[in-house]
Amino acid sequence: MNNTKLRLFTFLFFLIGISNFLQAQCAGENATIEICEKDADSAYRNFDLFAQLGGSPITGGTWATTNPENFYALNQSTGIVDLWRINNYGTHSFVYTNTVCNQSATVTIELGGYPGEDNIDGSANACGDDSSVNLHGFLGSNVDGKVQDFNGLWEEDPATFTGQLNENLFNAREAGPGIYNFTYTVPDVNGCSGRTSTIILEVHPPPNAGTAPVLTFCAGDDLSAYTAFDLSDHLIGEDPNGTWTENGTNQLSDLNDTIINIEEIYNNFGYGDFTFNYTVFPSHPVCEKRVSEVSIRILPILDGTIVTDDICVGESYVVELTYDNTLLHNGDFILQFLVNDDLGESPTTLIDGNGSFVIDQGLVPLNEEVTLEVIGIRSVTPPRDVCPRVIVPPTTFIVTSSDITAQDICIQTDNTIQIIEILDADGNFATGSFSTTYALTTPNGSTTSSPTFELEFTNGNASFIVPASNFTLDGEYTIRPTISGIYATSCPLVDTFTVTPLPDAIQLDLIVDNNCDATQIDVLVDAPILPNGTYTITYDVTELDSNTVLTTNTINFTGGTAAYQIDVDALPIGNYTASVRSIQNDNTPCRLDFEFEESENFSRGGVPEAPQADANQIFCLSNYPGSPTLMDIEVTADGDLLFYDTETDSNILPISTALVDGEDYFVTNSDPLTNCEGTDRVQITVSFSDPNAPTASTVNPQFCAEAIPTLANIAIDVSTGSSVTWFDAATGGSELDASTVLVDNQSYFAATNNNGCTSTNRLEVTPTVITVTPTSLSSDMLQVCGLDNPTIAALRILENETDNDVHWFMTETDGTALTDDALLIQNTTYYAENYNPLTGCSSATRVPVTIDFSDCDPENYGFFIPDGFSPNDDGRNDTFFIPNIETIFPNFTLEILNRYGTSLFKGDINNPAWNGRNGSATAPNGVYFYIINYNKDNAEPIQGRLYLNR
């Protein structure tokens, strides 16, 4: 301990009372010591803390430390501490506590640092794939238990600096292979000097077996391109000095062989996982060997077909699946599929090439063809990967909701059959006509088929009626319609319904002894017994004219037969009605009628008076299409008319019997209330009237359209005393007024009218109405020079006619045609009319033409402007007037100004001459100025001067 300095500081505290003093010293006194280079003496492994206490400590106490790093170095009972196990330089405190005096004392050790031993002989090695090399591992001593402090400072030698040192951890992976120098320093502790150790670390390159992505195929894939697959080509970044091994495929001949045949592997072993290992050994044992795995996965695949029949709504949507079981194992799976574009999943169990799955009904729309496509599969049991690609062609199917409804009915009642949501052959809701028949099975088991009929569908729905004649038996019926041309499904169209028989009805009857002169009426009742109701029966007699009930009686019963007599012998002469009525209140099924009534008219003294009619009646045949009948004979009578061939004949003639010219008929009448027939018959003789048809010299008369011909213009011959009536048809048709305007080539029909009776035969007349089209002119304006005295002949230049003559008029209608030498008159409109000399017809309208008389070249007509005038009222040269200016320049304006620029006169075609006055004053002699605007053909205005000399 020659290098150990002991320093003992003892503090004595004197207390009052000797016992208190002795008790306070049982734990000793605090002491502080300094120990440097603890590693130089192994005695420090059993350092006695109790011996370091000051004062007079008493044994039997316990030792403790607040520093957890010192806990296992201290024996708490003896106070022996192993300083080699304290691996942190600095201050360390240990507290001794004696329970006898309940006092404590502290031993404080200032402990110098130990940096471990230098490691520079090549024994410090690390692998280049180690990202956290612990440098403390290279500082240990060969002496057991001597370990460096851990709270020193690690530093890189600047000569080999990498920046990859973090406290005691060095990232060899980032630094890379090489030799690196490090120092580890523990600093000064009080009087103990700091110390440093050095490490020379060699980082060795790690082996690299490379990486290889999993090579995945699906069973059944074409592997012909992989018969000479080089495993080394599949590795990335590997060292070249490795070896290859395999697991049971016999593809590698030795450790250097890298070529395998994947197609052969599949042919020999089927689908599965096949691995090949590439091993690279390190250049230094500090690094471990590395192995990379090339995994070849040949996944099982679903290769099959799906089939589903068309489905009836309400059934499970089951799809049958068959597949190649050499490509897929047995087990439980989840199938993914698309119904149209909607995704669905379904569990399925596949065994030995067969299976089925169910489609969620919510994915499938009704009554339209949908496409089902399996797009994926997952293996649940056993849990293993399956090729995500499936080889299952899509299929189509349809879920139909077609249905038929037949209602329960009563016997011999029509039954309306409703058919809904029927699809046509293209899978759309049926619209249009479809050939249909139905089979009807009756309660006795017999089946009849209806004739084929056309059934009209709208949006898939239709209805038809099974006639009541098919339901003569009560009981259960079955109907099965067959519709041609619709979408074929296996869904049955069938329904059953019940036909209930009609209950028996009450029978009422009235028997009158003589309807025309009655004395007694029998009322008969035959009523079925009602189990749940009663009949109320009333019979009465009513006077018809006043509707007064004279006799009445009412009875109530549940059924049976009854007979009653009504004595009417005392009734006054007149017409009566006897009635019997029944009302019942039962609820028997198929009871349709609950009220019944029988009535019978009768009379007391009820024979009607004879009818009145003209004995001879004439019928105009044209008034009766076909022929007059008995209904057309005019008769005045009460009641219904009855016609007979003879006065004694008993066979009543039908009222539609056609009359025969010159024939006699006999008529009587009957009371419609009592059917009592009169005793007298009246004779009537009928005769027919039919004037001869009219005639005409020609039935194709010709007219000019401009004359607006009418039917009255057609010459028709009729017999004396007769007139003509026109029609628009050979028979029937409408009567036409004589003022009707004729239409070219339209037929009209004339009939002879004799005293209001027109002939049945009519004369057909088809007139020709000639229409001459208006003339065609090259222009609606003629430009001439009025100074040439132009005539009508000048208008001929405008004519374009070749087939007709053109006549010129001064009026739009009527008037006389103008001759070619007639002078044209200014401000007059002329009219051209076409005239056909072959027919003598003219056009109905005339074409107007206006005349422009100003088409004059001034140079050709000696146009000049006078330079003076003498307004002295001598009748010569009394006005300033420009000859012919109103003709050559009809839109001219003239202005006269004095020498001061004052306007004295403004003229035009309506006021062309200046009389030498300035308003009401006389203009003096002198020079004046004129300004003329020609207002024609862009002619420039002209100005000049003139001399006024009176």
Instruction: Read off the tokens for 518.
Output: 């009655």
- CA-to-CA separations, 215 to 235, 296, 662, in angstroms, rounded: 11, 5, 120
Q: Are strands 868-869 and 942-948 parallel, antiparallel or unpaired?
A: parallel
pLDDT at 697: 92
Complete DSSP assignment for 506-538: PEEEEEES-SSS--EEEEEEEEPPPSS--EEEE
Instruction: Give yes or no on whether 18-111 and 304-399 have one common fold.
Output: yes
Long-range contacts of 654-660 (CB under 8 A, 24+ apart): 654/630, 655/629, 655/630, 655/631, 656/629, 656/630, 656/631, 657/629, 657/630, 658/626, 658/627, 658/628, 658/629, 659/619, 659/627, 659/628, 659/629, 659/630, 659/632, 659/633, 659/686, 659/688, 660/686
Arch. (CATH architecture) of 862-948: Sandwich (2.60)
Average pLDDT over every residue of 774-792:
90
The pLDDT of residue 507 is above 60 = yes
Quote the DSSP letter at residue 887. Answer: H
Indicate if the alpha-carbon torsion angle 617, 618, 620, 625 is positive or negative: positive
Q: Assign a CATH topology to domain 304-399.
A: Immunoglobulin-like (2.60.40)
Please give the Cα distance from 19 to 14 (Å, whole number).
Answer: 11
- Burial track 94-110 (b if 16+ CB lie within 10 A, e otherwise): bbbebeebebebbbbbb
Cα 545 from Cα 563, distance rounded (Å): 28
CA-closest candidate to residue 929, choices 879, 871, 880: 880
Q: Flag whether pLDDT at 644 surpasses 90.
A: yes
Stronger pLDDT, 368 or 334, i.e. the higher one: 334
Q: What average pLDDT does range 919-942 have in this prediction?
A: 92
CA atoms of 135 and 181, how far apart (whole Å): 11
User: What average pLDDT does range 828-847 have in this prediction?
Assistant: 92
- So what's the architecture of 402-500 in CATH? Sandwich (2.60)
Percentage, residues of the chain above pLDDT 70:
97
Asked if residue 757 has pLDDT above 70, the reply is: yes
Strand duo 432-441 + 926-933: pairing? unpaired
Structure confidence at residue 912 as a pLDDT band (50, 70, 90): very high
d(CA 415, CA 471): 9
Nearest to 6 by CA among 33, 29, 41: 33
Determine the Cα–Cα distance for residues 65 and 212; give it in Å rounded to an integer.
57
Q: 68: closest CA among 50, 93, 90, 100? A: 93
pLDDT at 383 over 90: yes
pLDDT tens-digit readout, 718-733:
988 899 999 999 988 9
Distance CA 170, CA 133 (A): 5
- Please, are residues 86 and 111 in contact by the beta-carbon 8 Å criterion? yes
Return the closest-CA partner of residue 302 out of 409, 421, 202, 219.
219
Percent of the chain whose pLDDT exceeds 90:
68
In one letter, which amino acid is 920?
S
Q: Which amino acid is at 790?
A: P
Q: Are the C-beta atoms of residues 947 and 927 closer than 8 Å to each other?
A: yes
How far is CA 117 from each of CA 143, 168, 604, rounded to the nearest angstrom? Answer: 11, 15, 160
Give the per-residue pLDDT at 334. 96
Residue 607's pLDDT band, with cuts at 50, 70 and 90, is confident
Contacts of range 284-289, beta carbons closer than 8 Å, 24 or more positions apart: 284/125, 284/127, 284/204, 286/125, 286/126, 286/127, 286/204, 287/127, 287/128, 287/129, 287/204, 287/205, 287/206, 287/207, 288/127, 288/206, 288/207, 289/207
**Per-chain mean pLDDT for the chain:** 90
What gap in Å lies between CA 564 and CA 508, rounded to an integer?
A: 12
How confident is the model over 417-462, as pLDDT tens digits?
999 999 998 888 999 999 999 999 999 999 999 999 999 999 999 9
**For 508-604, CATH number?**
2.60.40.10
Beta bridge partners of 541: 551, 578
| DSSP bridge pairs for 483 | 436
Scan for tokens 């150790």, then name that residue.
197
The span from the CA of 39 to the CA of 43, in Å, is: 9
Q: Would strands 507-512 and 723-727 be described as parallel, antiparallel, or unpaired?
A: unpaired
At 252, the pLDDT band (50, 70, 90 cuts) reads: very high
Confidence of residue 606 (pLDDT cuts 50, 70, 90): confident
Q: Which alpha helices (H) appear in 144-303, and where do they start and end?
A: 172-175, 262-269
C-alpha to C-alpha distances, 374 to 25, 326, 359, 383, 713, nearest whole angstrom: 94, 19, 11, 20, 92
Is 949 strand, coil or helix? coil
Q: Contact, 606 vs 646, CB < 8 A? A: no
What confidence score (pLDDT) does residue 15 get? 28
Q: How confident is the model at residue 678 (pLDDT cuts 50, 70, 90)?
A: confident
What does the pLDDT look like over 145-188, one tens digit per residue?
889 999 999 999 999 999 999 999 999 999 999 999 999 999 99
Domain coordinates of the chain in residue numbers? 18-111, 125-204, 215-299, 304-399, 402-500, 508-604, 616-689, 702-770, 781-852, 862-948
The CATH number for 18-111, chosen from 3.40.50, 3.30.70, 3.40.720, 2.60.40, is: 2.60.40
pLDDT of the residue at 368: 85
Amino acid at site 526: D
**What is d(CA 524, CA 565) in angstroms, rounded to the nearest whole number?**
9
Compute the average pLDDT of residues 355-384. 92
| Beta strands 560-567; 616-620: pairing state | unpaired
pLDDT, tens digit, for every residue of 253-307? 999 899 999 999 999 999 999 999 999 999 899 999 999 999 999 999 999 999 9
Question: pLDDT, tens digit, for every residue of 525-561?
Answer: 998 988 888 999 999 999 988 899 988 999 898 888 9
**What sign for the dihedral angle of Cα 758, 763, 764, 769?**
negative
* pLDDT at res. 483: 94
Q: Which pLDDT belongs to residue 269?
A: 93
User: What is residue 16's predicted lDDT score, i.e. its pLDDT?
Assistant: 30
Query: What does the alpha-carbon distance between residue 621 and residue 20 come to, in Å, rounded to a whole number?
Result: 171
